[in-house]
Amino acid sequence: MRQIILCSLICLLLVGCTMGITQREALTPDSPSPEITPSPGTTQTDVPTTQPLPTETPVSSALPPTTKTPTPVTLDTPTETPVPPVPTETPDAIPTFPVDGWRGTIVRLPSLAQFDDYFEREDGERFGIEGTLENRAVIEPQIAEFRWTGAQVHVWGELIPDIPDCEGRRIAVDRIEAVSGPTEEARDLTPFAETNASSFLPPDRWGAYESWMVVDDFSDTAWTEGVTGPGIGEWITLTFPDVIEVHSIGLDVGYDRDEDIFFANNRIKKVTLAFSNGEQVELEFADTRGMQTIPLVRAPGPNIETTFVTIIVEDVYPGTEYDDTCLAEVEIWGKTK
Ligand SMILES: [Ca+2]
């Protein structure tokens, strides 16, 4: 029995020793790692979490976001900017047509007209006309000369449609050449005239009464002398850029706004025409509304050559209400030299 108890005690001791050794041995491999990392509990969980984060963060969030974000922004802006090449397309979109030696004349318009002149092609079609931006200094004087002489011309350039000019179109002229000398036909030269008068009535609620009212192409505006009484001896002069050969003169002899106003004011009955060559001509007009044209052309010639026409009031038809003498329009037809 003693042996059995001893054996059991020995066995118990042996088991106890073995467990102690295995516990010590099991602890040994664990102890170095907690000893290497100063604070195991926190470091071990932080290292794996912070390590993947910093490596992922710089790769995925630092680099790509910064490069990706500006890329679409800068790409979008430039791609949207070229989208409005609408302005650059607009000038190109205006179609132009070649003008290849068209033949015609250049006609001056009255001073108050919307445009100053137009090219009348030989088929009667009308076009605005102007030099191009590049050659305007050269072309414009040529256009002015041909406009004055009424010469037949050939025109080269481009036709620009949809533009604020005569008939909504314009010839941008590259080259213009005369086909003929000054036209042989008498023309209305009044649009070329500058006007001046001995006096005029101050403006009122109805408008102005200055000398240029006789060349504005409106019968309801009139030059009105500004002196007391009917203005006998008052005058108005039309001066031309150069010598003209006078073929006829037309007068609308009153304030031709309407029937009542026409007869309420004085109408011109007799005038003396004075010219720069010293000649004088007396004319008498009827007491009627509208343009009255009197020929001055001389059958065998020579015709009157002058740079101005002065119209001197000699007699009037008295107005029913006002003692003011009016002249709505003047037309002087002739030829340039
Ligand atoms: Ca007028």
Average pLDDT rounded to a whole number, residues 149-156 = 97
The pTM for the full model equals 0.71
Give the residue among 235, 226, 224 at the shortest CA–CA distance from 265.
Answer: 224
CA of 237 to the centre of ligand 1 (A): 15
Instruction: Place 301 in a pLDDT band, splitting at 50, 70 and 90.
Output: confident
Average pLDDT rounded to a whole number, residues 75-84 = 44
CA of 326 to the centre of ligand 1 (A): 10
CA of 210 to the centre of ligand 1 (A): 10
pLDDT of 220-230, one tens digit each? Answer: 999 999 999 99
Dist. CA 254–CA 260, nearest whole Å: 11
**237 three-state secondary structure:** strand
The per-residue pLDDT of the chain, averaged, comes to: 80
CA of 216 to the centre of ligand 1 (A): 5
CA of 253 to the centre of ligand 1 (A): 11
Could you tell me if residue 105 is left (phi over 0), alpha (psi between -120 and 50 degrees) or otherwise beta? beta
Provide the pLDDT for residue 326.
98
For residue 240, pLDDT over 70 is answered with yes
Dist. CA 183–CA 122, nearest whole Å: 14
Dist. CA 97–CA 109, nearest whole Å: 25
Instruction: Place 93 in a pLDDT band, splitting at 50, 70 and 90.
Output: low
- Residue labelled with tokens 């004319």: 283
pLDDT of 161-198, one tens digit each? Answer: 999 999 999 999 999 999 999 999 999 999 999 999 99
Question: Residue 73 has which token pair?
Answer: 């922004």
Question: Residue 227 has which token pair?
Answer: 């002196």
Share of the chain above pLDDT 90, in %: 68
CA of 238 to the centre of ligand 1 (A): 14
pLDDT of 23-79, one tens digit each? Answer: 333 333 333 333 333 333 333 333 333 333 333 333 333 333 333 333 333 334 444
Provide the pLDDT for residue 113.
86
Distance of CA 191 to the CA centre of its chain: 25
Residue 280 to residues 3, 201, 251, 303, 326, Cα–Cα distance (Å): 178, 27, 17, 13, 22
Contact of 112 with 218, CB cutoff 8 Å: yes
**Domain ranges across the chain:** 93-184, 188-336
CA of 215 to the centre of ligand 1 (A): 6
Provide the pLDDT for residue 4.
44
CA of 217 to the centre of ligand 1 (A): 6
Provide the pLDDT for residue 88.
45
CA of 191 to the centre of ligand 1 (A): 12
Provide the pLDDT for residue 123.
97
Helix locations, the chain, DSSP H = 2-30, 32-36, 40-50, 52-56, 63-68, 70-80, 86-93, 136-149, 259-264
Question: Residue 303 has which token pair?
Answer: 């015709």
Q: Residue 202 has what DSSP assignment? A: P
Written out in words, the top-level CATH class of the domain with range 188-336 is mainly beta
Between 2.30.130, 1.10.10, 2.40.50, 1.25.40, what CATH number should domain 93-184 receive?
2.40.50
